[in-house]
Amino acid sequence: MNEQLHFADSGEAADLAAFLGRLVHYDRAAAVRLQAGGGALAVFGRPPSFEVLAIRTVRLAAPVASPLDLTVSAGELLESVDEAEARATVPGAVTGPPWTGVLPPRGGWQQLPGLPGPEAIRAAVAGAVAEFRARDEALPPQHRTRSERDRIGREIWSRTLGDTELPLRAAHAAQSLGFLRPIRSTVPAATTAAPGAPEPVALLASGSWLRLRTPYGSVATRRPGRNGGLGALQVRPV
C-alpha cells in the first residue's frame, strides 16, 4: 500500500496542488523528487525551458515515521492530492531524469546583497516579457524561426537581476510558478516585520548554487561560469 502524506492543513495541500499543476502545465510527463523528514516535505521540480530547479516545501501534520526520498510522477501525485482532507498518496517511484540526482545543498546558505524588492523583480520580469514579444513581432517573416526566438530568449533571460549574479530567467520561473505573488495574511508577520528576520524575498548562495527564496517556494540555479546551467553537472545524491 502506498504511503499517505498528511499535511498541516488544507492550505498546504492546495499550495502543493497548485505547484504541481503548474509543473504539469509546462510538461505533462513532469517528474518530481520528494524528500520528507521531520515535519516537512520538500518537492523538487524542473519546469522546461527555465533551466532552474523549483522547490516547494509543505508542512506536514506530524513528522514522518521514516525518511522519504524518491522520484514520482508529478501528474500522479497531483491526482492523489485531497485538499479537503489535507492529504495525498505517494505514487510509485519512477526512473527520474538526470536532474533529480543534482539537488542543491541542504545547508551552508548565506544571504547575498543587491536583490531588488519583490515589486521591482515582478516589474523586471514583465519588462523582459514585453521586450521579447516586441522583438519577436519585429522579426521579418523569414527570420521568425524557433532558433531566432531561442536566441532572443537566451539573450534576455541570461541578463542578471539588480546587482546580483542571478539570471533573470530564475525570477521569470519564480513568477510563472506563483512564488512571487504578494504575501497573504496567513504568512506570519515575523516573516516581514521582525528586526533581523529574513526578508520575504532573498537571494542566497551556497558553493556554486544560487537560490531565490520566497515565502511560497524557491528557485535554484548554478552560479554563472560554474558548470553553466544544470545539464553539465555530475549526478550525485544529496
What digits encode the pLDDT tens for the residues 148-198? 999 999 999 999 999 999 999 999 999 999 999 876 544 443 333 444 444
CATH numbers and ranges of domains, the chain: 4-101 (3.10.150.10), 110-184+197-204 (no CATH)
Q: What is the pTM of this model?
A: 0.85
Q: For residue 13, count other CB atoms closer than 10 A to its CB.
A: 22
Q: What is the CA radius of gyration of the chain?
A: 18
Helix (H, G, I), strand (E, B) or coil at 209: strand
CA distance 54 to 139: 32
Beta strands in the chain (DSSP E): 4-6, 31-37, 40-45, 53-59, 68-73, 87-89, 110-112, 202-206, 209-214, 217-222
pLDDT tens-digit readout, 165-179: 999 999 999 999 999
- For the segment 198-221, what is each residue's pLDDT rounded down to a tens digit? 458 999 999 999 999 999 999 999
Angle at 211 between CA 207 and CA 217, to 5 degrees: 145
Q: Given a cut of 70, is residue 236 above it in pLDDT?
A: no
pLDDT, residue 189, reads 37
